[in-house]
Amino acid sequence: MFVTGGTGFVGTHLIRELSSRSDFKVVALVRDRKGDMPTNLDQVYACSEEISAAKLPFRRGQAVVHLAARAHLSKRATVNALHEYRKVNVAWTLEIARQAAAAGVNRFIFISSIGVNGNANSRPFNTKDIPAPAEFYAQSKWEAEQELAELAAQTSMELVIIRPPLVYGPNAPGNFGELVRWIGKGIPLPLGAIHNKRSLVGIDNLVDLIIRCIDHPAAANQVFLAGDGEDLSTTELLRGVANAMGKPARLIPVPAGVLQFGATLLGKTAMAQRLLGSLQVDISKTCELLDWKPPYTVEEGLRRCFEPSHQSITR
C-alpha cells in the first residue's frame, strides 16, 4: 500500500488501521516527520515542488490511496486561489498518478470531495448528478477527477474516486473542529431551530470504506459517495456533539431566516450555507456495489471522537 498525505487527518487514521493489519505493508508519502506514526511504516519525504523531480518508490501490483491535497489557503494567496489549488490538487496529483501508472500500480484511489457535486441540494446527491462545484477547492478536485479518468483510460491502472462530505473525528480540523470548540467553551449559539439536513461521514467509517475499495473487484473505475447513512440538522449535530462531550448544548432557537438575513448583511453567506443549508448524500450505490455498510452510527462516531484512546491518534 502506498498512501500520500500520510500525516494529514484522514491519512493518520488510515495508516494506523492499515498498519495494524498483517496483510498490509504501508509506504507513506509525507511532507514532514510526525513522531507518533507507526514504527513499521516506511516513509518517503517530499514536498509538492519536489514531486516532478522525484522518482517515487511505487511497485507493480500495488494500490495507491491519494489523500494529499491543498484544502485551505492563506489570505495572502487568495488573489490566485484557483491557480494555487490547481498546482497541488491537479498538477501534483497527475504527476503522482502518472508515476504510479508507469510503475504498474494496479489501483489508484483518489479522495475527492462531495463539493464536486455542489454545495447545496434539494434532494440527496448521487454519482449520476452533473458536477457543479461552487468553490475553487471543489473545482480543482473535479478537474483532477477528469484528468485521472483520462489517464486510467489510457493505461491498465484502475481508478476509484471517493467523494466524502464533511469528515468528523477526534481532533478533526475545519468546520467540525469549530463546532467542537464552540460547545467546549460553552458559547451560547443561535442555532437551536435549524431544520436542515446534512450528511456527514465519521473518520472510522471513511477509513473502512477506503480499505474496502483497495481490492474489491466492483470498485474498479467507479465513483463512490461516502457517508454515515444518517442525516442530521445543524441543531441535532450540535446536541450530539455536546452529549458526546458531556457538555450542555447552549442553543438559542433563532429562526433560520433571521440568521440568513444577518449573514447576508455581514458577508458571511458561505458560513450560513454550511450551517443553515442542506447537503444530503445518497450512498446506496456505495453500499450495494461494495456490499458495505458504515460500521458506526453517527452517535457512536461522535462518542468515539472524545474517547482518549482515539484522540491520541491525531495529536
| Catalytic positions, written as ranges | 137
Residues 6+ apart with CB under 8 A from 195: 233, 235, 256
Spatial strand order of the sheet with 2-4 comes to 42-45, 27-30, 2-4, 63-66, 107-111, 158-163, 222-225
Give the single-character DSSP code of 280.
-
Nearest to 203, CA basis, from 280, 289, 278, 298 = 298
Nearest to 113, CA basis, from 86, 145, 82 = 145
Q: Using DSSP, state whether 92 is helix, strand or coil.
A: helix
C-alpha triplet 234, 261, 196: angle, nearest 5°: 25
What would the grid cell of residue 199 be?
Answer: 450528511
